[in-house]
Structure 1
Amino acid sequence: MKTRSTYYPALLLISILLGCSEQTKKVDAVEAAVQPVFKIVPSAHSGVTFQNNVEENFNNFFDVFAYVYNGAGVGIGDINNDGLPDIYFTGNEVPNKLYLNEGNLKFRDITESAGVQGNGKWNNGVTMIDLNEDGLLDIYVCKGGWQETDSQLRNLLFINQGDLTFKEEAQAYGLDESGYSLHASFFDMDNDNDLDVYITNRPDSFDLPLTQMVSQKKLTPVNSRDKLYINEKGKFREIGVQAGITNNFGYALSLVTADLNNDGYTDIFVANDFAESDYMYINQKNGNFKEQIKRATNHISMYSMGTDIADINNDGWEDIMVSEMLPEDYKRSKVSMPSMDVEGFYAIVNSGMHKQYMHNALHLNQGNGFFSEISQLAGVAKSEWSWSTLISDFDNDGNRDIFVANGYRRDVFDGDVQDKLRMFIQNNRNKFQSPQEMLEKGFKDFIEVYNPIKVRNYVFRNKGNLQFENATDQWGFNEPSFSNGAAVGDLDNDGDLDLVINNLDDEAFVYENTSPAGNNYLKVKLNGPAGNSFGIGAKVTIYYNSQLQYFENKTVRGYLSSTEPIVHFGLGKEKKIDSVKVAWNDGKVSHIGSVDVNQLLEVNYASSIPEPKRAPLLPTVFAESTKELLNTPFVHHENEFNEYKEQILLPHMFSRSGPFITTGDVDQDGEEDFFVGGAAGQPGSLYVQKNGKLLRKSGAVFESDKVYEDMGSALFDVDQDGDLDLYVVSGGSEFAEGSEKYQDRLYLNDGKGNLTKSVLPKIISSGSCVVPYDIDGDGDLDVFRGGQVVAGTYPKSPRSYVLINENGKLVDKTLSISPGLYEVGMVNSAVWVDLNKDGKSELVVVGEWMPVRVFEYQEGKLMDVSLEYGLENTHGWWNKVVADDLDGDGDQDLIIGNLGENYKFTASVDKPFQVFAKDFDRNGTNDIFLARYYGDSLLVPIRGKECTTQQMPVIGQKFPTFLSFAKSDLQTILGKDIENAMHFKAYLFSSVMLINDGDKFSIRKLPVEAQLSTVNGIIINDFDHDGKKDILLAGNKFDVEVETTAADASPGLMMKGLGGLNFKCLKTFESGFFVPYNVKDIQPIKIKDDWAILVGINNEGLRIFRNTRTSSSRGIALAK
């Protein structure tokens, strides 16, 4: 957790607040009845009475030592090889404890006789590992509080003597690390069959400003950085800096070592507290590591705490879960979450650190080194003040679930803490001579100003298809606690995973897994080579019924803890496993066929064989060919403009919407060319194709118009001279409503590709798209031009235009032909398509807060026939619409890209997402209130008190405390003014297919892989030449307000057609289409005899992906 950056030191607060007035607060408690699946084993039965008590006093509280309440760890492992896993607890201010498992969930405290109490204060993480190659688990303990001597800081290594006693030998092994250590993970970094180790250390100070943290990273201080030790014949030598563990100065709270890219070498993931980014060190297979977190992810969690790595979707690639501290309860989230302003967010980013957001992160492994953060889609973003997280199959159904340990002794993020301190000061000001004395002598009363966050632990049940549900109630986690470290193991050998949790100030929890019998399992015990007797890092894959499960054997998981070194698989109702494969670290493999379920399977390294070489995969469908095809790069340069300055509550930017692309044969040489638009201040560019290369054509005409923000464009014959003219929409939000800089532009073609600016009717609205069609049937092409936004007045509908072609001149006929399109909404996309097979096309229009709208030309008018097609309650945040016959029944269907399901906002018909906007405080600016439901009926604001008060200072006067704001619904906050505000609803945020059933549409959601982010670009074509239509999607929305996580999880997606409406979603390493950028448009272009894909990326270079398949090269490589 990051406290210093978000609350005042207590002494400073007391000094500031002397003389201030009193306010009181209260936090609601939540109780819930549950049906237990886990059951606490009472200490009277288990014998486990360990309690990690930490004394709170003037010299030992959060303002002196920020990690005073962070708790300690727990290790599970069989120390005497009797088949029963034992338990070891670390204590911060109490001795460590070792409990021997005597069966039937009974344990005996053997700490003193074993000699493993730990010397001095503040033991943190524990790792149970065999280091002396005798087949017995040893115990490594990391130490580090805040005021210990050097000898008290040194880590401990207890070597198992084989008789239930241990001998401390850290110095002899070279592992008596003397930094402020949190945890250690032993792993085989160089595949030489012995165990090396990564140790996380924190700096000795918690109040460093951002600039000092950045400078310290470059200095690589000896004791304030993480360490990497290589094992040299049983002795350990530190090699971190020379191995690439550099620029390392973080407050690491957890780490996991795992092979993140399936290249056979173990990588390192470190979750860092405070502003520092998490680290992802990728093993370079030569003794070196390269940090790649910003390359591998588009954002991370901010207050990164616990971590686990495991395969959540059974695709053979391990995913990453990082816990954070976002409250699930609405009221607590408004009172106890620190705010983030634009300046603070970008100060972190501009210092070189990653984009970070305040919620749990679930990073889905895409198989090519990129991870999509999907916590909001998966339903695991919120879990209170969280520590350990463990990905394990607790109900043995074949899908791994997620456990999260919760709680914190003092709510240091309480937004009303200043008011609480005012009350404390008012009651005590006359008793003391100074703020220091007041704090010291009145400490007991002072500390109680900060409420405890004693909450239940969480568990999320994996439902499959990247979906989880909160099963905390059903699974029996109903005990409020300050829980920190946690570990899993089968304590009673009944085939399911039990759970042990180290609590602050309470007895540890021993949870027996009592899930009903019926689901099967397999446990795998690895007997590894001499230097790695438990096979740490070996990969186990099981195959059954055309499915697979995969797990890399690792024990350091969660937070400060170590799990039982047994690989566990739940199997549901499966009764037989076809085969088990173990891939050992050195490249050898073990294969076991026809394996029975419900057993402990032992696999011996001694019987392994060299792995046969794999057959190479076929080429991907696409390959990036930007440098090969583009003679002069096009780089979109976004102009700087802060839309939030006037509209703090605006949900996302409209000034960063491009670039957009249009294709056509401009110079009439039989080869397709393209135009790509520029941002305000940047001219657009025209590229012509010559012999399969795309050459930029000089464009003085575009240079003179660079003041405009280019949006959508179209190439079509306006003047009926047989060539393609260029229409470019002007948009953005940099300019005032009605500005001449929203004037669209028309460039006429001389037949050779030379363009000259012509005239258009006066256009005064910020636009998005233009789609030509012969609306009136007179043989020439008319235009629908969509309006996107009214600058400064979101979500007001701007003007859209119907321009009729009269003898080569486009004339505004909107009101006479289609008044319903005049202010149809915040349009993002439109398409002309014949939906009813009458030979005439209808106009389909979509946009933000809009339903899917259909307009049909009837008797000289474009009439709204949307309801006739069953399109009521289709309001969404639509970005793109494309038409094609998707099901092969002869009529045209639609694919529409939406916001997606991996976002802070959700919408449904029963609980629509809403917006209210008006100048509520009558100061001349538009005030925006996004709103959602809390419970079944209360409509509450999305944004918090702090930013809302910045937009409307009257809010701070009306609601002086965070709690008073949190307890108020939107009606209470805005009063009667809400009744005549602009008001829109959204019912659907999923990207969908609309299947044409003849007279109505049926809605079919796109697969979950298409819901990871916004969809801005859609192309339908038979890319792999197998006779079936495929779908290509791209998108993302990076430029959102900083308290809302950017929609950035899409790496691009190819949906391979299987016939009808059946598709297989390919991984990017299968398709070759990898675009994890802020993609605004994708367009196909014919290059020689096949298609390529043009990708327009905001503020980055245009990319081109060439189709590697030809009509004679059918089929596609699919990963096994």
Structure 2
Amino acid sequence: MKTIFFIFFLLLFISNPSHTVPLQFTSVTKEASIHFKHHDGSSGQLYFIEPLGAGAAFLDYNNDGFQDIYLVNGADLPPLAEERLNEEEPPRNALYRNNGDGTFTDVAIAAAVAHTGYGMGCAVGDYNNDGFSDLYVTNFRANVFFHNNGDGTFTDATAETGTGDTRWGASCAFVDYDNDGFLDLYVTNYVKYTIESDQVCMNKGVRVYCDPRLYEGELDALYHNNGDGTFTDVTESAGFSGATGRGLALAWGDYDDDGDMDVYIANDADQNFLYRNNDDGTFTDVSLTAGVGFSEDGEAENGMGADFGDYDNDGRLDLVVTNFQDQTNTLYHNEENGLFSDMSYASQIGTMSLPYLAWGVSFCDCDNDGYQDLFIANGHLDANVQAFNPTGFYEQPNLLFHNNRDGTFDEVGVDSGSSMRLEKVSRGFAYSDYDNDGDLDLLVTNLKGTPDLLQNRGGQNTWLILKLIGTHSNRDAIGARVKVITGNLAQIREVRSGSSYLSQNDMRLHFGLGKHRQIDRVEIRWPSGLQERLEGVEVNQTLTLIEGTVKSSQ
């Protein structure tokens, strides 16, 4: 297996000799004192829930300037659930506090976020604008809302906020969809399933995990923030009554650049949805007219992960979606007129992705050259996949696509350090500059294994990191759009919560600047509509920008 994948990578690398990017990632999980191990509850029963894994989030829960890590765990399933009744500590979620010296300490129990449900995804957002990051965790059966008390601890506010749900939650995100200054919450729900309804499925005479099409899709949920610490379910009145497509992932982004956030939903074995924000509290599904509902061949695919990003720096948000083995990971280019073009093969991502079953994904400028690259987490569902599919492999390497700045990408994982060539069963993915050195580090969650914290050790390009604080807007400034102009290089980023697969990136905005030594202009469009700009900004620094106080206000 390892030899086959290595040869595949090597041949691809030789066929693309133009690659000279010094990307180097090193797994520092052990050195960072991260000892978490994911538990899927499996005991040979092959319950449908087992192989989906869990996500992770970067957040600065104690406002010390260092990004902490929240890791979601699974739980026991029958018969393990009965056998563990007398044990002291069941599997639980972990909150790793960043000590600022390259190490982390698990403080989940002391912080009261050591949840023991069958966890899936998580998202971060300051829902009450008190300056502290709150946390929402999706689960199989019961989601939980953790309110940050501001003293290093959290309180379970699920009942108080009215955001509890006993359906099978997957990805989630905070967003101020109506720009009223308070963060709302969107949750994708997967399928209608119980352990008791689990079915036995076979493929070529061997037991396998069942096809998701055997289970009916669940309706997603949109919770509107009432501004008083409570939320109201507005799913149907907001136009999401048709969002029953087995949702696994979501990505919020203002793809039409009209000042409000739209949302893309990646569905498993069903049409994907693109809901355009109508700026009146409602949404319209435009996935078919925009060309992002089905594959280029008109087929429903197995959407696993999603993200918005401007990979060609034309000022418009493009879209990436990860899919199942033998389906391409799909790269959609935003054509500005409300349409997207499928550039999967033209970008060189399509062919390379076919052998893999992909999950977490994000646009991220890993070498600080000013163009966003793509990282994709891979891993199959079935440990016995070769018994019914000789071309499939359970453990798979993750993929790092370097942006060639001409609309194409090269896969460079084989040349980016031994840690990037590891073959595991990966699921969630998030990025952050956790060590505050100006480049993006990567965090990958692995099914039934420890996560990989990949420290970025390559390159000398310049950079800028921005932390935005809203005053009239929501305090996290989620939905803000920033343009950084340096010479002929212009980049846009948006502040967002929740994307990839079940995960949450560092909400600070990261800009690679190549060899530029001075930033001409930083333009901010806040969710409130206020526009400000800053000129003559120095490179290689982290700036905090407060709405209404930025110099050169216009």
Which of 484, 491, 513 lines up with 2:427 in the alignment?
484
What is the alpha-carbon distance in structure 2 between the residues aligned to residue 530 and residue 509 of structure 1?
38
Match of 1:396 in 2: 368
CA distance 1:296–1:156, change in 2 (3 Å): same
Q: Is 1:195 matched up with 2:183?
A: yes
The residue identity in structure 1 corresponding to 2:126 is: D
Q: Is 1:497 matched up with 2:440?
A: yes
What is the alpha-carbon distance in structure 2 between the residues aligned to residue 451 and residue 270 of structure 1?
27
Q: Is 1:508 matched up with 2:451?
A: yes
User: Could you say what secondary structure the match of 1:263 adopts?
Assistant: coil
CA distance 1:211–1:116, change in 2 (3 Å): closer
Match of 1:379 in 2: 348
- 1:590–1:603 contact (8 Å) kept in structure 2: no
- 2:534–2:550 contact (8 Å) kept in structure 1: no
User: Could you say what secondary structure the match of 1:254 adopts?
Assistant: strand
CA distance 1:210–1:567, change in 2 (3 Å): closer
Q: In the TM superposition, what whole-angstrom CA distance separates every residue of 1:979-1028 from its partner, at most 9, and x where no partner exists?
A: xxxxxxxxxxxxxxxxxxxxxxxxxxxxxxxxxxxxxxxxxxxxxxxxxx
Match of 1:261 in 2: 256
The residue identity in structure 2 corresponding to 1:30 is: F
Match of 2:220 in 1: 226
What is the alpha-carbon distance in structure 2 between the residues aligned to residue 492 and residue 78 of structure 1?
12
- 2:263–2:276 contact (8 Å) kept in structure 1: yes
CA distance 1:101–1:259, change in 2 (3 Å): same
What is the alpha-carbon distance in structure 2 between the residues aligned to residue 165 and residue 415 of structure 1?
48
Match of 2:324 in 1: 325
Which of 550, 561, 585 lines up with 2:527 in the alignment?
585
TM-score, with structure 2 as normaliser = 0.86
Q: In the TM superposition, what whole-angstrom CA distance separates every residue of 1:453-499 from its partner, at most 9, and x where no partner exists?
A: 10111100001111100001111211111111111111110000011
What is the alpha-carbon distance in structure 2 between the residues aligned to residue 306 and residue 379 of structure 1?
19
Report matched runs for 1:772-851 at 5 Å. Answer: none
Aligned-residue offset at 1:609: 10
- 1:588–1:608 contact (8 Å) kept in structure 2: no
- 1:588–1:611 contact (8 Å) kept in structure 2: no
Match of 2:399 in 1: 458
The residue identity in structure 1 corresponding to 2:26 is: K
Match of 2:66 in 1: 84
Aligned-residue offset at 1:261: 0.5
Which of 50, 53, 58 lines up with 1:68 in the alignment?
50
Q: Is 1:139 matched up with 2:135?
A: yes
Report matched runs for 1:282-361 at 5 Å. Answer: 282-297=276-291, 299-300=294-295, 302-326=301-325, 337=326, 358-361=327-330
CA distance 1:525–1:538, change in 2 (3 Å): same
Match of 2:334 in 1: 365
- 2:249–2:306 contact (8 Å) kept in structure 1: yes
What is the alpha-carbon distance in structure 2 between the residues aligned to residue 531 and residue 132 of structure 1?
12
CA distance 1:413–1:280, change in 2 (3 Å): farther
CA distance 1:550–1:520, change in 2 (3 Å): same
CA distance 1:28–1:56, change in 2 (3 Å): farther
Q: Is 1:237 matched up with 2:225?
A: no
CA distance 1:118–1:42, change in 2 (3 Å): closer
Which of 163, 174, 190 lines up with 1:186 in the alignment?
174
What is the alpha-carbon distance in structure 1 between the residues aligned to residue 483 and residue 549 of structure 2?
17
User: Could you say what secondary structure the match of 1:473 adopts?
Assistant: helix
Q: In the TM superposition, what whole-angstrom CA distance separates every residue of 1:96-138 from its partner, at most 9, and x where no partner exists?
A: 0000101232101111111111133x10111121122211111
CA distance 1:611–1:296, change in 2 (3 Å): farther
Q: In the TM superposition, what whole-angstrom CA distance separates every residue of 1:403-442 from its partner, at most 9, and x where no partner exists?
A: 001112525765736xx9xxxxxxxxxxxxxxxxxxxxxx
Q: Which has the higher contact order (CA 8 A, sep 6+)?
A: 2
Aligned-residue offset at 1:248: 2.3
Q: In the TM superposition, what whole-angstrom CA distance separates every residue of 1:263-296 from its partner, at most 9, and x where no partner exists?
A: 111111100001x100100001111100011100
Match of 2:502 in 1: 560
Which of 26, 29, 41 lines up with 1:39 in the alignment?
26
Match of 1:30 in 2: 5
Q: Is 1:246 matched up with 2:241?
A: yes
- 1:410–1:451 contact (8 Å) kept in structure 2: no
- 2:384–2:394 contact (8 Å) kept in structure 1: no
Query: Percent same amino acid among aligned pairs?
Result: 31
Match of 1:521 in 2: 463
Match of 2:80 in 1: none
What is the alpha-carbon distance in structure 2 between the residues aligned to residue 168 and residue 537 of structure 1?
26
Higher gyration radius (CA): 1
What is the alpha-carbon distance in structure 2 between the residues aligned to residue 315 and residue 463 of structure 1?
15
Aligned-residue offset at 1:555: 2.9
- 2:128–2:182 contact (8 Å) kept in structure 1: no
User: Could you say what secondary structure the match of 1:103 adopts?
Assistant: coil
CA distance 1:487–1:138, change in 2 (3 Å): same
CA distance 1:84–1:211, change in 2 (3 Å): closer
Contiguous gaps of at least 5 residues in structure 1? 1-25, 145-152, 218-223, 327-336, 338-357, 421-449, 613-1120
The residue identity in structure 1 corresponding to 2:38 is: N
Match of 1:155 in 2: 143
User: Could you say what secondary structure the match of 2:536 adopts?
Assistant: strand
Range with bigger deviation, 457-466 or 405-414: 405-414
Aligned-residue offset at 1:533: 1.4
Q: In the TM superposition, what whole-angstrom CA distance separates every residue of 1:621-656 from its partner, at most 9, and x where no partner exists?
A: xxxxxxxxxxxxxxxxxxxxxxxxxxxxxxxxxxxx
What is the alpha-carbon distance in structure 2 between the residues aligned to residue 408 and residue 553 of structure 1?
31
- 2:277–2:283 contact (8 Å) kept in structure 1: yes
TM-score, with structure 1 as normaliser = 0.43
- 2:124–2:173 contact (8 Å) kept in structure 1: no
Aligned-residue offset at 1:170: 1.2
What is the alpha-carbon distance in structure 2 between the residues aligned to residue 241 and residue 611 of structure 1?
39
- 1:409–1:454 contact (8 Å) kept in structure 2: no
CA distance 1:610–1:142, change in 2 (3 Å): farther
Supply the RMSD in Å over aligned alpha carbons: 2.6
What is the alpha-carbon distance in structure 2 between the residues aligned to residue 363 and residue 412 of structure 1?
33
Task: Say which structure is richer in helix.
Answer: 1
The residue identity in structure 2 corresponding to 1:543 is: I
Q: Is 1:405 matched up with 2:377?
A: yes
User: Could you say what secondary structure the match of 1:601 adopts?
Assistant: strand
What is the alpha-carbon distance in structure 2 between the residues aligned to residue 58 and residue 41 of structure 1?
32
Q: In the TM superposition, what whole-angstrom CA distance separates every residue of 1:539-581 from its partner, at most 9, and x where no partner exists?
A: 0001121331001111312110011110000000011111101
What is the alpha-carbon distance in structure 2 between the residues aligned to residue 549 and residue 530 of structure 1?
25
User: Could you say what secondary structure the match of 2:421 adopts?
Assistant: coil
Aligned-residue offset at 1:58: 4.0
What is the alpha-carbon distance in structure 1 between the residues aligned to residue 33 and residue 547 of structure 2?
37
What is the alpha-carbon distance in structure 2 between the residues aligned to residue 79 and residue 500 of structure 1?
17
Match of 2:123 in 1: 127
CA distance 1:174–1:316, change in 2 (3 Å): same
Report matched runs for 1:837-916 at 5 Å. Answer: none
CA distance 1:506–1:211, change in 2 (3 Å): closer
User: Could you say what secondary structure the match of 2:371 adopts?
Assistant: coil
Report matched runs for 1:863-1012 at 5 Å. Answer: none
- 2:462–2:540 contact (8 Å) kept in structure 1: yes
Q: Is 1:54 matched up with 2:40?
A: yes
Match of 1:721 in 2: none
Match of 1:347 in 2: none
Match of 2:19 in 1: none
Match of 1:533 in 2: 475
The residue identity in structure 1 corresponding to 2:453 is: V
What is the alpha-carbon distance in structure 2 between the residues aligned to residue 261 and residue 316 of structure 1?
10
Which of 267, 270, 281 lines up with 1:272 in the alignment?
267
Q: In the TM superposition, what whole-angstrom CA distance separates every residue of 1:765-811 from its partner, at most 9, and x where no partner exists?
A: xxxxxxxxxxxxxxxxxxxxxxxxxxxxxxxxxxxxxxxxxxxxxxx
- 1:393–1:399 contact (8 Å) kept in structure 2: yes
The residue identity in structure 1 corresponding to 2:180 is: D
Contiguous gaps of at least 5 residues in structure 2? 11-21, 76-90, 200-209
Match of 1:117 in 2: 114
The residue identity in structure 1 corresponding to 2:236 is: V
